[in-house]
Amino acid sequence: MSNQTSVAEFLLLEFSDARELQMAHFVVFLVLYLAAVAGNLLIISAIALNQHLHTPMYFFLMNLAVTDLGSVSVTIPKSMSNSLMNTRIISYSGCVTQAYLFLVFVTSDFTLLIVMAHDRHVAICNPLRYEMVMNKEACIQMAASAWLTGILYAMLHTATTFAMKFCSNVVDQFFCEVPQLVKISCSDLYLLEDVLLGVGVAIAFGCFLFIVITYVKIFSAVLQMPTSQGRQKAFSTCLPHLIVFSMFLFMGALVYPRPIPHTSSHTNIVFAVMYSVVPPMMNPVIYSMRNKDIKVAICKLLGFK
């Protein structure tokens, strides 16, 4: 295929030629998807319906759950549908939409984690100014900025990627992933996409340093608290966020610095599942495990005492 105008559809990576293994993949992905959807919907519903949780920290957590719910809903259902229907096809427009929305949700997710670190820093290091700094208007502006960052960054990447000429329509992944689309391009625009990815990595590294410095200040303030109860409460709100952020960076570091041309298809699938499915599924568990307010709200929502 000489250019992108002749590409009417793409062929996604299939998990196996054997029908039995395709159905096994469908069942496994269905379980993972339902777990991720149920967990994030519980978080969203518990926060939205509980007046006690209408605070900045839980407002940002609800936005984070929305991004997690969106990212898994963009990728997994199409893969399950292909396995069930014994096909590999995704339309050109479907591929564009999938790549764009996945980048929107992942970038917004990352930006929200940075905003949440700032929220915890103000709450612990400047508690007397917390209500003034993290007022309702400021929280809405921060959340909107996170979503706008995701929308603009995804738009830039997607426009550059699909402006390229493609030498093949076979995507070596179970969804339309930008690095795998760049791999099958035969256009000089891939250099621009590499630059954009490099800029994204540099920005992510800067954000990583910001969060590291923020948490050094937070833990210094926590250790100076006079009561063990205060320290325990502060750690219970900070540790889940720190674990989620560390998992997000770890999964991303496993995927994007890899030499893509030299990795096998099965390796690509494993890494893609690790960074696109595991975090959205685990985040609700991590946040509810050490947070008494979330656990109480979820139990109340489900009718448990």
pLDDT bin (cut points 50, 70, 90) of residue 238 is confident
Task: Name which of 1-10, 44-53, 172-181, 213-222 the model is least confident about.
Answer: 1-10
265 has pLDDT over 70: no
Percent pLDDT > 70 in the chain is 90
- How far, CA to CA in Å, does 165 sit from each of 92, 113, 187? 13, 35, 5
b/e string for 150-187 if b means 16 or more Cβ within 10 A? Answer: beebbeebbebbbebbbeebebbbbbbbbbbbbbbbeb
Mean pLDDT of 261-284: 76
pLDDT bin (cut points 50, 70, 90) of residue 5 is very low
Mean pLDDT of 13-36: 87
- 12, with CB counted inside 10 A (0-12, 13-18, 19+), is buried
Mean pLDDT computed over every residue of the chain = 84
Q: CB within 8 A of 203, min separation 6: which ones?
A: none
What are the chain's domains? 4-302 (1.20.1070.10)
Task: Name which of 104-108, 259-263, 265-269, 271-275 the model is least confident about.
Answer: 259-263
Question: Around Cβ 11, how many Cβ atoms within 10 Å?
Answer: 15
Please tell me the distance from the alpha carbon of residue 212 to that of residue 257, in angstroms, as a whole number: 21
Please tell me the distance from the alpha carbon of residue 141 to that of residue 209, in angstroms, as a whole number: 23
Please tell me the distance from the alpha carbon of residue 127 to that of residue 242, in angstroms, as a whole number: 20
Please tell me the distance from the alpha carbon of residue 279 to that of residue 254, in angstroms, as a whole number: 13
Closest CA to 117 of 159, 147, 158, 146: 146
Cβ(178)–Cβ(193) under 8 Å? Answer: yes
pLDDT digits (tens, 9 = 90+) for 124-167: 888 888 889 999 999 999 999 999 999 999 998 898 888 888 88
pLDDT at 4: 44
Cβ(177)–Cβ(263) under 8 Å? Answer: no
Cβ(197)–Cβ(180) under 8 Å? Answer: no
1 has pLDDT over 50: no
